[in-house]
Amino acid sequence: MKTLLKPFFFFLLGFAITGVVLTLSKCSKDDDLDPYAINPDELKQNIDLESINNTANEIEDACSASDQTAIDNLVLQESLDEYRDKEEPYTAEELAAIGNALKDRELTMATINFAEYAYTIDGKIYTLWMACDEEGVWKIIRY
């Protein structure tokens, strides 16, 4: 009988320890969040949507015209190096298709430093990523 009590004791001890750990590590409720958090409406006012859209219009025009020089001027230098290292660079037809698809782009996300548009080519969704550089100029990261 004594040998049956020992495993049962450890079984109950395990539950007790689990209960104590769960109680002590419990997360706070949403009501306890910082009351001085940033108001989303105020944050939206600081996002320069006009500059973001202007850069998107410029890449749209450059792609539609298959103007690689204009595209290079709009792309962030680090990203430009990656595009140049591609085994198969975009053809004029592919750039024109991107430019045409960008006419129907949708802004999916925007912050003070980053923006993302979505566009569709042949039923497949692609993204255009932009970042604001140190000088306040919006540059393309990915298209």
pTM value is 0.65
What are the distances in angstroms from CA 122 to CA 36, 41, 79, 126? 46, 36, 25, 10
pLDDT of residue 79: 85
Helix (H, G, I), strand (E, B) or coil at 26: coil
pLDDT of residue 1: 56
Non-local CB neighbours of 138 within 8 Å, separated by 6+ positions: 51, 52, 54, 55, 115, 130, 131, 132
Q: CATH code for 41-142?
A: 3.10.450
pLDDT of residue 38: 58
Cβ(52)–Cβ(110) below 8 Å: yes
Sorted by where each begins, the domain ranges of the chain are 41-142
Among the listed residues 58, 61, 122, the one whose alpha carbon sits nearest the alpha carbon of residue 96: 61
Cβ(119)–Cβ(105) below 8 Å: yes
Mean per-residue pLDDT pooled into runs of 10, the chain (143 residues): 72 80 68 58 74 94 93 88 74 93 94 93 94 90 88
pLDDT of residue 46: 75
Helix (H, G, I), strand (E, B) or coil at 104: coil
Q: How far apart are CA 26 and CA 45, in angstroms?
A: 36
Site of tokens 């604001």: 132
